[in-house]
Amino acid sequence: MDMNLSADYHDSVHDILESTVPEEHLETACHQFMKWLHEFSGKATYREILQEVFVIVIKQNIEKVIKIQGYGTVINDLSSTYSYVDFLRILQVQNMCVNDSKTPFVWVLNTAVLFVMDYNSVFCNS
């Protein structure tokens, strides 16, 4: 995508997002969406774009899981990092945090996407 198109697209993206994104987050959302447009503009198919987005979501959830377990968040290889995921430990930490009377919170995880690694780790590394 060339830079001239980028300015035109920004206005369109802004108009589309304006009705759904709060004003204080609108410019950030526009910039993020434009970044994605640039990143995905070389993809040949819709499937390739969706696969890349899906892998990003999986990676973010694995990073969150690793952080919850106290290992840090560096991921060099999804398959080897996923081998450190301990779902029982995650549940224990989540329960402990929820029951903290001073600062209760819980991490939001999409555990369904984590199981993609069990069935097709090649998908995430392709």
Q: Which residue has the higher pLDDT, 5 or 113?
A: 113
Q: Please tell me whether residues 89 and 33 are part of one structural domain.
A: no
Question: 112 is in which domain, residue-wise?
Answer: 46-126
Q: Please tell me whether residues 11 and 53 are part of one structural domain.
A: no
Contact 94/107 with Cβ under 8 angstroms?
A: yes
pLDDT for the residue numbered 121? 67
Q: Is the four-CA dihedral 10, 12, 14, 17 of positive or negative sign?
A: negative
Q: Please tell me whether residues 55 and 83 are part of one structural domain.
A: yes
Separation between Cα atoms, residue 95 and residue 91, nearest integer Å: 6
Q: Please tell me whether residues 89 and 104 are part of one structural domain.
A: yes
Above pLDDT 90, what percent of the chain? 2
Q: Please tell me whether residues 123 and 77 are part of one structural domain.
A: yes
Number of folded domains that form the chain: 2
pLDDT for the residue numbered 1? 41
Q: Please tell me whether residues 84 and 125 are part of one structural domain.
A: yes
- pTM for the full predicted model: 0.61
pLDDT for the residue numbered 2? 43
Q: Please tell me whether residues 35 and 75 are part of one structural domain.
A: no
Q: Is the pLDDT of residue 75 over 70?
A: no
pLDDT in tens, 14-51: 888 888 888 999 889 888 888 877 777 776 677 777 88
Q: Please tell me whether residues 2 and 64 are part of one structural domain.
A: no
pLDDT for the residue numbered 126? 57
Q: Please tell me whether residues 74 and 17 are part of one structural domain.
A: no
